[in-house]
Amino acid sequence: MKRWAHSSLTGGVGVSLNFLREKDCEKIHEASLEVLKDRGVSFGSEKAREVLRDHGCWEDSEGCTHFPRHLVEDMLEAVPSEFVHYGRTEEDDIHMAQDQVYASNFGEGIYTLDMNTGERRSTIKQDAVDIVRVVDALDNVHIYNRAIGPQDVPSESASMHNAEVALCYTSKPMHLVSGSPFQTKKMIQMAEVAVGGKEELRKRPRTAFNHTTISPLRISEEACENAMIVSEAGLPNHILVMVQQGATSPIHYAGSVAVHNADFLAFNTLMQCVRKGNPTFYGSSACVMDMKKGLSLVGAPEVFVLNAAHARMSKYYNIPSYIAGG
């Protein structure tokens, strides 16, 4: 099992980038709890709302779910502070914990530059095969994240095609995304076949699943039910919140981080209500809005400050994080 360099040792290994002091994290946590109690979150799934009602949440006249403080903090405390992210063999496993730093590729691209012609074209399944083979060969990339959305397969099964490529062509731990509960169930079945059965997958879960919120404070029916299926199967969940500062979250940093954090806490509460203690990543792929053109800027300096603050909140909670780096 790999244990990588620590990110914030005082002895000189790595660097520490902290924009939030401990008392700042406490204020953001309190603000997020206030948002969840007073404003609430819109869950698109009746199944999810029923689970939360059974655990003490309540709904308002607009259908938003409100959270009692004790439930949010209880389910936050249940998230493991460390776990093994399994690969195909023990040599491929990595230890997920605070200050353990790893790298992955990102996704999900729908266009590429053809390596032979230089032409910009839509991505195809063979591109996913080519990319995962490169990722598998790179020692400094530790996790494979589905890289592209293949445009030459039916959209209803594209997630399963990505899962097939990942399970066949890499030995590294992986993160997958599913477009529907139907595909999620099928992808888990595929993973069971790849590792030798349902019990083997529970012992050594090969993949985590990414789930995104719709900021601010909304989680779709598909995301809710995908996450519930993954939790029931005992596979790690990656809660990827993607606030857009100045558009879907406040323009100032503290407010933007508080909204991001509220999204995470709401989704985590649902997942832990389904299976308490299930491994979870505190995820962020935040961006800022170009106020002149109305575009999402993913490479602006503010993005890195924002994502560093989200990483600091994961450290405050002592939860492994998965943060976009550019």
The per-residue pLDDT for 11 is 45
The per-residue pLDDT for 65 is 98
Q: What is the pLDDT of residues 40-56, one digit of tens each?
A: 999 999 999 999 999 99
Please say if the pLDDT value at position 15 is more than 80. Answer: no
Q: What is the pLDDT of residues 179-188, one digit of tens each?
A: 999 999 999 9
The per-residue pLDDT for 18 is 78
Write the secondary structure of the chain as one string of H (helix), E (strand) and C (coil): CECCCECCCCCCCCCCCCCCCHHHHHHHHHHHHHHHHHHCEEECCHHHHHHHHHCCCEECCCCCEECCHHHHHHHHHCCCCEEEECCCCHHHCEEEECCECCCECCCCECEEECCCCCCEEECCHHHHHHHHHHHHHCCCCCEEECCECCCCCCHHHHHHHHHHHHHHHCCCCEEEECCCHHHHHHHHHHHHHHHCCHHHHHHCCCEEEEEECCCCCEECHHHHHHHHHHHHHCCCEEEEECCEECCCECCCHHHHHHHHHHHHHHHHHHHHHHCCCCCEEEEECCEEEECCCCEEECCCHHHHHHHHHHHHHHHHHCCCEEECCC
The per-residue pLDDT for 5 is 55
Q: What is the pLDDT of residues 230-277, one digit of tens each?
A: 999 999 999 999 999 999 999 999 999 999 999 999 999 999 999 999
The full set of domains in the chain, from first to last, is: 26-323 (3.20.20.480)
The per-residue pLDDT for 90 is 93
- Selection from 159, 161, 102 nearest residue 126 by Cα: 161
Interatomic CA distance for residues 255 and 134, integer angstroms = 39
Please say if the pLDDT value at position 154 is more than 70. Answer: yes
The per-residue pLDDT for 256 is 94
The per-residue pLDDT for 4 is 61
The per-residue pLDDT for 218 is 97
Q: What is the pLDDT of residues 105-129, one digit of tens each?
A: 988 899 999 989 999 999 999 999 9
Q: What is the pLDDT of residues 269-308, one digit of tens each?
A: 999 999 999 999 999 999 999 989 988 888 888 888 999 9
The per-residue pLDDT for 10 is 44
Joined together, the tokens standing for residue 168 give 């066949």
